[in-house]
Structure 1
Amino acid sequence: MLSQQSATTVRATLPAVGAALGTITERFYAGLFAAHPALLRDLFNRGNQAAGTQRQALAGSIAAFATHLLDHPEQRPDAMLHRIAHKHASLGVTPEQYGIVHEHLFAAIADVLGDAVTPEVAAAWDEVYWLMANALIAVEKRLGEERGGPAWRPWEVVERVAETPDVATFRLRPADGGPVREFLAGQYVSVRVALPDGARQIRQYSLSGAPGPALRQISVKRVRGGGAPDGEVSHHLHARVEVGDVLELSEPYGDLVLDAGLDTPLLLASAGIGITPITAMLAHLADSGHRAPVTVVHGDRSPGTHALRTDHETYAAKLPDSAVHLWYEQDAPAGTRSGLVDLADVPLAPTTRAYLCGPLPFMRAVRSQLIAKGVAPADLHYEVFGPDLWLAGQA
């Protein structure tokens, strides 16, 4: 809980701080990476830094957390904190790094806002930062303890499958021959690779196969920049990683998972590469004998870009009460629909629990359609790829 004195100061200064957050975070990252270049080389996503999306995410998280503290002084935004904590834990973020971030963030605030940062203002925003940081540190510590074992483990590629021209599936087993911890459908792993320039970059990929004791499976889309830099890690995996090669993987993390023992109607909706966690969920439902209705919705550019389609439809067909609805923007074959996903004539019970994964515009559109059909906002769950975690709350 934010102290009353700090709450008054934060409320008065939030408009000014919020308006300057873009400049503050830009100066923050410049100072951070000048002092600690290894963080950019080996922890932060260089592509997101180049595109500016990481700066937007940090600014959004600070503003959203401060606003929540003011609007709901008796509550913490635990759902948002847990989602970020899962991401941080999978990356190996340490408590000490929060101190480094604090040093450079507050130096940037003072640099940008100048004399407006009085001792009272600095103390109030310092309280906001450490309320957020300490909450994340505690959750990340618990998550790490629950998983045990080393943070990074070598995994050997035992099979590689070309799903589409730009999506490849990699199946892996532990290179050390040890046991494989089970995961929950919808979770992801971090993958760390050594790039030609010596950087060890990390990306997170949803586990796209059924939870099981033997293998891990990820399906990776090659990120084409379209004017921006191409995805470093996705291109490395597509161009350089073959059967017999070894990758470093984290333990599974992620809180967008199916509730155990769920017997309510479900909607599993995806677009593009968002199909990866949804396929794992379908596999789990098929393997566990789920009997309640399941509606499967997917949108893609064309049938040729629809990765994992065979798995998608095969698992759905194993369910006793399922319906599959597919939309394609181009070349839609018979039995599918043209254009973007539109749920207007898709029958759904108001008690449906929905799981969504895909680009933010897709999830915003589907969320609005579901609410219009009477589905409760509390029953809408979604995963966001990239540094847009706090924007998910506005989907």
Structure 2
Amino acid sequence: MLSAAQLDVIKQTVPVLQENGEVLTRHFYQRMFLENPEVLAFFNPAHQHAGTQQRALAGAICAYAQNIENPAALASAVELIAQKHASLGIRAEHYPIVGQNLLASIQEVLGEAATPAIIDAWAAAYGVLADIFINREQQIYDDQQASFGWSGFKRFVVEKREMASDNIVSFYLAPEDGQPLPAHQPGQYITLRLTPPGSDPVMRNYSLSNRPGASRYRISVKREPALEAGAPAGLCSGFLHDQVKEGDVVELAPPCGEFTLGAKPNAEKPLVLIAGGVGITPILSMLYAALEQQSGRQVVFIQCALNGAVRPFADELATLKEDYANLKSHVRLSEPQDADRRKGGYDSEGLLDNALLDQLIGKQQAEFYLCGPTPMLRHVWQLLKARGVDEADIHFEFFGPAGDLAA
């Protein structure tokens, strides 16, 4: 519990955090990785290089300071982070490492401005926040053990691999011990732990792309090239594409994630699922669940892709369209190739826009689930807000550290 004086100090630091947050978090990560290299496995170097991890942490710290007297306002953000932490196996013993490096970074970045009162207040504030995460994450671990029969990592066999598009490979994974898989929640992800040649073990989250309740998990992995000179290519995606074959054994942690299809659907509102690129993976799992469990509800599925070569699951989606009368689907390619125009197989060209939404759902109130690249998410979110869609009806997931769609 923070004292009144500590609360006042935290609130007074908000302007400093707004101005220096990213400087602080960059210093924090550099310091922590140097002082405590054992935590490196929990972080994706591509996110560090791009600065998205640092920006996300700076935003989270600032939001915590702004809501220091009303932490309930951060419940959704806490849940997102707690699920991510649990997916990676972060435990109570890791929190002192973060706390020590964060407080030292505040002292080192702010210098004499970091008075004893500021350090004391932030030490107390961090302790309160750490307890919130530790308690929630332990609940997640307990729920995993009860629901799936394990927590931590378990050995799975790659039973099958197949191309979903020119740049996406699907892997079908079955427990090595032969135990049945309880159904995951549509939209959840698993964590894969791998050891590429010449590398320490690394962990990556991959959404489950198949029907909940299937006998195997399916992940569908896009090869991630370096986005710019000097940036790392996707270490895990390259290893999976090039070296992991049928019969190999990998390690999986149980499903996690808060971006899941609502358990209490409003059948009067159409369900609109919008997927961009490899962001289709959690959306496809939701689509299966919605069609099987919400037969009385209109389901609209919009798939956005660059072109037909990198559009995943074309045959699978065509089958679903034939099998379910309540499914209305639309494929939009932003940069179709000549081969696409000759063969067809898509419905329209360009970016998703109001005209397409008017065509598919008209003026009906609807519930939306979105997943895709950040520019696409930001574009669609702003479209929906301009259409007057309530924020409570817009659900989305970032791949990587969470960002701000309103920017």
Please give the range of the TM-score, normalised by the shorter of the 2 chains.
Answer: over 0.9
Tell me: CA distance 1:301–1:2, structure 2 relative to 1, closer, same or farther (3 Å): farther
Alignment of 1:55-70 (within 5 A): 55-69=54-68
Identity between Structure 1 and Structure 2 (%): 34
- Return the alpha-carbon distance in structure 2 between the equivalents of residues 188 and 37 of structure 1: 26
Find the aligned partners of 2:227 and 2:122 in 1 and give their Cα distance.
39
Give the counterpart of 1:288 among 272, 293, 301.
Answer: 293
Further displaced range: 312-321 or 139-148: 312-321
Quote the offset at 1:74 in angstroms. Answer: 6.7
Aligned to 2:394: 380
**Structure 1 segments (4+ residues) deviating >6 Å:** none
1:236 matched to which residue of 2?
A: 239
Amino acid at match of 1:52: G
1:8 aligns with 2:13: no
Q: Which residue of 2 aligns with 1:159?
A: 160
Give the equivalent residue in structure 2 for 1:352: 366
Aligned to 1:192: 193
Residues 193 and 247 in structure 1, CA contact (< 8 A), matched pair in contact too: yes
Deviation at 1:295, TM superposition (A): 1.2
Please give the residue correspondences for 1:26-105 in structure 2 after superposition, counting only pairs within 5 Å: 26-40=26-40, 42-69=41-68, 73=70, 75-105=72-102
Asked if the contact 1:273/1:307 (under 8 Å) is kept, the reply is: yes
The match for 2:311 is 306
Q: Which structure 1 segments of 5+ residues have no match?
A: none
Q: 8 Å contact 1:188–1:204 — kept in the other structure?
A: yes
The answer on 1:362 being equivalent to 2:352 is no
Alignment pair present for 1:272 and 2:277: yes
Distance 1:16 1:241 in 2: 47
Equivalent runs, 1:116-195 vs 2, <5 Å = 116-148=113-145, 149-195=150-196
State how far apart, in whole Å, the 2-side matches of 1:128 and 1:318 are.
54
Please tell me whether the aligned partners of residues 285 and 319 of structure 1 are also in contact (alpha carbons under 8 angstroms). Answer: no
Please report the TM-score for the alignment, with normalisation by the length of structure 2.
Answer: 0.90
Aligned-partner residue type, residue 374 of structure 1 = G
> Any conservation in 2 of the 1:182–1:212 contact (CA below 8 Å)?
yes
Equivalences, count: 390
Structure 1 position 66, deviation (Å): 1.7
Inter-partner Cα distance in structure 2 for 1:192 and 1:137: 22
Matched residues in 1 for 2:49 and 2:9: separation? 34
Structure 1 stretch 173-182 or stretch 246-255: which is displaced more?
173-182
For residues 194-224 of structure 1, give each alpha carbon's deviation from its aligned partner in whole angstroms, at most 9, with x where no partner exists.
1212411111000000011510000000101
Q: Does 1:342 align with 2:353?
A: yes
SS in 2 for 1:181: coil
Give the 3-state SS of the residue equivalent to 2:190 in structure 1.
Answer: strand
From the superposition, tell whether residues 5 and 290 of structure 1 become closer, same or farther in structure 2 (CA, over 3 Å).
Answer: farther
Q: Aligned to 1:325, what secondary structure does the other structure show?
A: strand
2:329 aligned residue (324, 333, 336) = 324
On the 8 A contact 1:327/1:337 being kept in 2, the answer is yes
Q: Is the Cα contact below 8 Å between 1:192 and 1:203 reproduced in 2?
A: yes
Normalised by the size of structure 1, how large is the TM-score? Answer: 0.93
CA contact (8 A) 2:141 2:151 kept: no
Shift of 1:364: 1.8
